[in-house]
Copies of this chain bind each other. A is one copy, B any other.
Amino acid sequence: MATEARRAIGERSTRQRTAVAAVLQEVDDFRSAQDLHQMLRRKGERVGLATVYRSLRAMADAGDIDILVTADGESLYRRCGQGAGHHHHLVCRGCGLTIEISAPAVERWASTVAVDHGFTDAQHTLDIFGTCQDCVDQEAAQAR
């Protein structure tokens, strides 16, 4: 679970792999593997669920997509700004709208905190969840 060699072997270009990459390209927010699988079926693409998982894992390992784990343990995937490096997300709990955020100051702070406590090889997770304006409006409309 600790030190893991990161060798990007395999990487063959198949119809399924391409299809998964394609649906990820179509949406701007985080989707679950099962969601993506459904989207593929609806598009007529015949891809096994296991293959979706395998493809997503490969893409994540290669750093091509972001993974976000919800509070109930489900993994959500999203294509991210190509090689834009490290960034965080502001996610709407209602509609999934996602905004990428950069915060150099916070990066520096996190790094400092780790070093101050003698920690090395530090990484961090930082995500903000809230309700976007549109969803607030919709909730208000429903309550009426």
A21 at the interface (CB under 8 A from B): no
**Which of the residues B3, B92, B109 comes within 8 Å of A119, measured between beta carbons?**
B92
Using Cβ atoms and an 8 Å threshold, which residues of chain B touch A125? 125-127, 129
Cross-chain contact of A73 among B3, B75, B126 (Cβ < 8 A): B75
Chain B binder among A7-15, A40-48, A79-87, A93-101: A93-101
Question: With the chains together, A1 CA to B3 CA distance in Å?
Answer: 38
- Determine if B128 and A122 form an interchain contact, defined as CB atoms under 8 angstroms apart: yes
Q: Could you list 14 examples of A-B contacts with CB < 8 Å?
A: A1-B93, A90-B117, A92-B119, A93-B121, A103-B109, A118-B133, A120-B131, A121-B130, A121-B131, A122-B128, A122-B130, A123-B129, A123-B130, A124-B127
Contacts A69-B70, A101-B113, A113-B128 known; 5 new A-B pairs at CB < 8 A:
A3-B139, A122-B129, A124-B127, A125-B127, A125-B129
